Amino acid sequence: MESRYFTGRDSALDELKQRLFLQANTGRLALFGLGGIGKTQLALQLARWVKAHEPDRSIFWASALSVESFEQACLQIAKKLQIHQNGDNESAMELVHRELSDDNAGKWLFIVDNADDADLTFNELDRFFPVSEAGVTLLTTRSKEVAISFAGRDILELQNMKAAEGIDFLTKILGNDVIEDPNSTSQLLEELNFLPLAIAQAAYYIRRNDGTIGRYLELMHKSEKERMRLVSREFHDITRYRKMPNAVAKTWLISFNQIQNSDPPAANLLGFISCFEPKAIPLSILPSVGSEEEQEFAIGTLCGYGFLTKRGNEEMFDIHSLIHLSTRLWVAGAGITQQVIETVTQHMNRCFPSSEFTNRETWRAYLPHTNLILSGVELGCADDRYNLLLKIGTCLRVDGRYRDAVTAFKSACTWYESQHEEEHPNRLNAQHHLAQAYLDNGQTKEAIELIERVLAIQEKTLDGEDPSLLISQHELARAYLENEQTKEAIELFERVVMKEEILEEEDLDRLASQHELARAYLNNGQTKEAIELFERVVAMKGEILYEEDPSRLASQHVLARAYLNNGQTKEAIELFERVVAMNGEILHEEDPSRLLSQHELARAYLSNGQTKEAIELFEHVVMVDGRILDEEDPSRLASQHVLARAYLNNGQTKEAIELFERVVAMNGEILHEEDPNRLAPQYELARAYAANGQTRQALELIKHVISVQERTLDAEHPDRLESQKLLEEIEEGARKSESLEDAPVS
């Protein structure tokens, strides 16, 4: 049974030697750890060391897989010792127990291997384990509970191999010629969790098929089905018991079944966990399986087998991906996949928190664990599934993940539309959510079309003061505002705000409508009215909301923008800096709200002559935008535009021209000729060309801008006047340049 490939484990082997022989302070010790982690091989190495260093100590080995295997081992021991029965009814187990427990038996080491079944170990076998002053018993088990019951405090948990041990073990089996670059080798070992049995299984597969580590990794990453086939593939291993499975997944199935028999609540949790992501599983997401004590006991069982690992003092657990995959195989093998998915879906729909900011930490932790139950084939419990999807979509929206929110709401809408008439509240609710997500995702046209349809139905079926109707009117006004239908937006917002005067002053819906009306005023150039309303909203939110609440920060952000537009640059910078600092604490680097506040603060710095600070912040925003946004995204182009303007103001003309040209080219592909957002960068590029002495290009571009503005703007419009002024400056500069060239050389 000893493996010629055994390597490492020095610290664990040293501890066994110290505790059992060198310190000699215990007669019993239990070695426990995950199935396939190498407990048997470590016990064999200990036996080998004892044989070499304590030749006067007898060594005995017995398998505790079953009563029969233990009885068979005792028969072999009795034959070796040439001991005989005292009576006809004395079994080999009784015989060995009597002989080795005798004070005259001498020194011995008795190894009880694979004592994984608690009932079998303590109801059938424990009474036959010999006890003697000169004897030492080592028991190996997968179960921490068995280990503690057998040896009390004298237990040792065998951990996974260290990286160097894993590489050495893999190299011994495969040979140096198959070991590829260090990166792929390390990646494979990490995928296998440095588990000896999994490493051996992978190595035998690679060697049998004349494969490579790269190909094995490719199969592992191809699909869940391929991974399942790999971890279930049996291989011949002479170091393991004949009837024991060698495939790592099948090894764990034995443990899963033992848990099912000994601790059904723990098995129930294992089924739930098979539907979650393997990393960062919150304690609170697990279903109750009984009293608080029973829950703790069940989790303790899973941790005791090494299936769950607690993260320090956090109420968070991990399960290795291979073990997680095996739980899914176990559930499938029991034919209960559909039942488990339905149960988990119903549970998640019940326990998934609302999208309020105070719940953000919780729902962010829960979100990844909905992927498996929602990505699979749709089974039963559709109501729970799609209600959960609406909750998830709402949280994604709040978190700024608008594209994902649209996907979630679209799926929910499709189902509700197939189940209900057009005026059904659930159908309208789903459509309303989708329209909001469209709007946040910049799909303004789709948002307006959908919310107008919802509103038309609600106006026919609901009372004029119904909150649902007001919410839809609010969202339609918001959509109009985003679509630059400012007049219609203001008209609708003012109607909503007036109707909401019956609500308490601190009502969040009322404050939201006031916020949006103020934003509409700002977009319409009614800066004084906007500031007055925003200051009222910000003051009220300051009394009732946490400092880091997104709604409070959003109002502060737009008030700061209003200050900036009104020339109150100092107040704008002060408020923007506060918002940026708070967003930095609560939002991830790529969050759109965080990037927008940084963009606006940089714009304020630029207006205040703090060009260096502006450039530094704009460069950061542009870099992050480049990672997460499409090349033609308006937000990305806006940040590039203002960064180029900052470069120009800072005398970095070459960098400014390069960036302006990129923005102008992209705008030329996506915006119509008369769009102000297309004309503004063209104006700035003409200014940059002029500053760089590229007079011909500057004149050509500014004349084009003016020709478009003459068709679209009044003669006294500030933008048109600015363009005309720039043209005159460029022409004047050109004339001076020509005069200098014509002047006689002295």
pLDDT of the residue at 98: 92
Tens of pLDDT, residue by residue over 548-598, are: 898 999 999 999 999 999 999 999 999 999 999 999 998 889 888 899 999
Rounded CA-CA distance 33/124 in Å is 22
Residues in the chain: 746
Mean pLDDT of 282-308: 93
pLDDT of the residue at 239: 56
Mean pLDDT of 314-330: 91
Residue 178 has pLDDT above 80, yes or no: no
- Residues in Cβ contact with 505 at an 8 Å cutoff, skipping those fewer than 6 apart: 540
Rounded CA-CA distance 320/248 in Å is 13
Residue 744 has pLDDT above 60, yes or no: no
Least confident residue range of 113-117, 155-159, 206-210, 544-548: 206-210
Rounded CA-CA distance 421/419 in Å is 7
pLDDT of the residue at 466: 81
| Average per-residue pLDDT for the chain | 90
Tens of pLDDT, residue by residue over 116-175, are: 999 999 999 999 999 998 999 999 999 999 999 999 999 999 998 999 898 888 888 887
pLDDT band at 245 (very low <50, low <70, confident <90, very high): low
Mean pLDDT of 662-689: 93
Tens of pLDDT, residue by residue over 78-100, are: 999 998 877 667 889 999 999 99
pLDDT band at 746 (very low <50, low <70, confident <90, very high): very low
pLDDT top residue among 248 and 165: 165
Mean pLDDT of 594-618: 94
Helix (H, G, I), strand (E, B) or coil at 36: coil
pLDDT of the residue at 733: 83
pLDDT of the residue at 410: 96
Rounded CA-CA distance 730/706 in Å is 14
Would you list the DSSP string of 286-320? SPP-SSHHHHHHHHHHHHHTTS-EE-TTSSEEE--
Tens of pLDDT, residue by residue over 560-570, are: 999 999 999 99
Rounded CA-CA distance 98/96 in Å is 5
Mean pLDDT of 534-539: 96
pLDDT of the residue at 231: 78
Helices 337-351, 382-398: axis angle to 10 degrees equals: 50
pTM for the full predicted model: 0.76
pLDDT of the residue at 211: 85
pLDDT of the residue at 278: 93
- Residues in Cβ contact with 445 at an 8 Å cutoff, skipping those fewer than 6 apart: 483
In the block, tokens 């737009």 appear at 558
- Contact predicate 197/37, CB 8 Å: yes
Rounded CA-CA distance 542/578 in Å is 13
Rounded CA-CA distance 649/614 in Å is 11
pLDDT top residue among 207 and 31: 31
Question: How many Å separate Cα 197 from the centre of its chain?
Answer: 29
pLDDT of the residue at 270: 95
- Residues in Cβ contact with 266 at an 8 Å cutoff, skipping those fewer than 6 apart: 259, 289, 297, 298, 299, 301, 302
pLDDT band at 236 (very low <50, low <70, confident <90, very high): low
Tens of pLDDT, residue by residue over 452-463, are: 999 999 999 888
Residue 209 has pLDDT above 90, yes or no: no
Tens of pLDDT, residue by residue over 353-397, are: 999 888 989 999 999 999 888 876 566 688 999 999 999 999 999
pLDDT band at 3 (very low <50, low <70, confident <90, very high): low
DSSP state, residue 743: S
pLDDT of the residue at 287: 94
pLDDT top residue among 466 and 614: 614
One-letter-per-residue 3-state SS of 368-434: HHHHHHHHCCCCCCHHHHHHHHHHHHHHHHHCCCHHHHHHHHHHHHHHHHHHCCCCCHHHHHHHHHH
pLDDT of the residue at 745: 45
Mean pLDDT of 657-672: 94
pLDDT of the residue at 741: 52
